[in-house]
Structure 1
């Protein structure tokens, strides 16, 4: 069996093929980084969530919390506006319940209510309303079931609303989708597009370190001493042959 020798030729061959793979990823990093920098940051962020609606004088006609019949096991109680209606948000043992603040009746976040909430963020025509059991890539920063409301505006906006609390979570458009594609290429997280601490990008990092290290090694091995004769302390002191 031939013994493996760590020679400059071996390093050169490994460096060449590793450099090809890493070089492709370098191009993807450069292209994706440039593309993300050129996109309008305001459009990438999406349209701002609607301003909180003030309850105002309507509070005088609302039921006091003591008359809601929610018991003593409540962890949190919040009075807020939801699609123009005052509601109590009751949190107890990890669950959330919405009550009509005027009547005490349960409020369900259905498709009709999701449409009303979505219109507070986008006045364009609604094309579809879909309930999702869990968030997709566009709403991956949140958890729980959501309503997706699509609009027919120029950027094909989609608004995501919590199916539990009725809150408007986020708005996405085509600019954000383009940015997200390049973000996926940049951080190499092709599944969830959220993490920098996954094995693939760590391997790429070590690959870059290997290519740069072997590159420096091969760089110095490619020079000869005679090429540095112009440097005073690198002169070639050859032995003179003395003939008698």
Structure 2
């Protein structure tokens, strides 16, 4: 009986500790499935990236001339578009370099004017631009480890205030962030038990909670087996007692 009481107390306290996290998992999981992930990512607030035009080759400078004008070794080159400008994306040991395919001038790093033009060409239904900020160290929500432009849009008629993050090296629209995404991000951190980077699925919190869950399950199995065994003994005793009378 002492072992049974001890297991009952352990099971109770483990259940209290584990139950709180289970509720957090359920609440955060529900919050994350209420809105489609495409809406959270703001895919409805941006247009697709423009495909490279195929009719500017006769107006463009020869690729060999553009490569010769670079101070870095060019490893590869491919066509692209920045806003309405045809470009060559040159891969170099120091990272990508964007070059205007017609004028031949380097577009890396992307200027404020070009970043604004890119943002305006990619937005759908957003309000006016209220701020444009150059970031040497973008925040985690930007998903970038290189300098970036943060462009803030006011709310449109049917769209919320929105933030665009544009890679200052390539002009890529890297992320679209709204209040919905930031709320989702909080719930995501709660769900995976990583409240800082929101990326670590192997934190000590997860490990400790997993151990608690296993112990909770094992004590529950012990208590169930013990109760079934006691019930079986009681019924057997009742049958024997009834047979004796």
TM class by smaller structure? 0.7 to 0.9
Q: Which moved more, 1:158-167 or 1:129-138?
A: 129-138
CA distance in 2, matches of 1:73, 1:88: 15
Which secondary structure does the structure 1 equivalent of 2:57 belong to? Answer: helix
Secondary structure of the corresponding residue to residue 58 of structure 1: coil
CA distance in structure 2 between the aligned counterparts of 1:234 and 1:167, rounded to whole angstroms: 78
Find the aligned partners of 1:134 and 1:63 in 2 and give their Cα distance: 34
1:234 to partner: Cα distance = 8.6
Name the counterpart of 1:128: 131
C-alpha displacement at 1:166, in angstroms? 0.8
TM (normalized to structure 1)? 0.84
Change (3 A) 1:72 1:184: closer
Matched, 1:137 2:140: yes
Q: 2:38 aligns with which of 19, 42, 56?
A: 42
CA radius of gyration, larger in: 1
Alpha-carbon separation, structure 2, partners of 1:32 and 1:185 = 7
What is the distance in 2 between the residues matched to 1:178 and 1:96? Answer: 33
Given that 1:11 and 1:214 are in contact with CA atoms closer than 8 Å, whether structure 2 keeps it comes out as yes
Q: Offset at 1:239?
A: 11
Q: Which residue of 2 aligns with 1:67?
A: 65
> Normalising by the residue count of structure 2, what TM-score does the alignment of the two structures yield?
0.83
| 1:187 lines up with 2:201 in the alignment | no
Alpha carbons of structure 1 residues 126 and 71: separation in structure 2 relative to 1, 3 Å: closer
How do 1:162-181 and structure 2 match up within 5 A? 162-181=167-186
- Alignment RMSD (CA, Å): 2.8
Residue 6 to residue 64, structure 1, CA distance change in 2 (3 Å): farther
- Tell me, in whole angstroms, the C-alpha distance in 2 between the residues paired with 1:226 and 1:209: 27
Out of 12, 16, 39, the position equivalent to 2:12 is 16
Residues 52 and 79 in structure 2, CA contact (< 8 A), matched pair in contact too: no
Q: Which has the higher helix share?
A: 2
Work out the CA distance in 2 between the residues paired with 1:116 and 1:204. Answer: 48
**Matched residue pairs, number?**
234
Structure 2: how far apart are the matches of 1:135 and 1:209? 40
TM superposition shift of 1:235: 6.5
Question: CA deviation digits over 1:25-73, x for unaligned, max 9?
Answer: 0110111111111123331131245332442433211101111223793
Aligned to 2:81: 81
Instruction: Determine which of 55, 70, 78 is the counterpart of 1:57.
Output: 55
The 5-angstrom pairing of residues 188-203 of structure 1 reads 188-203=193-208
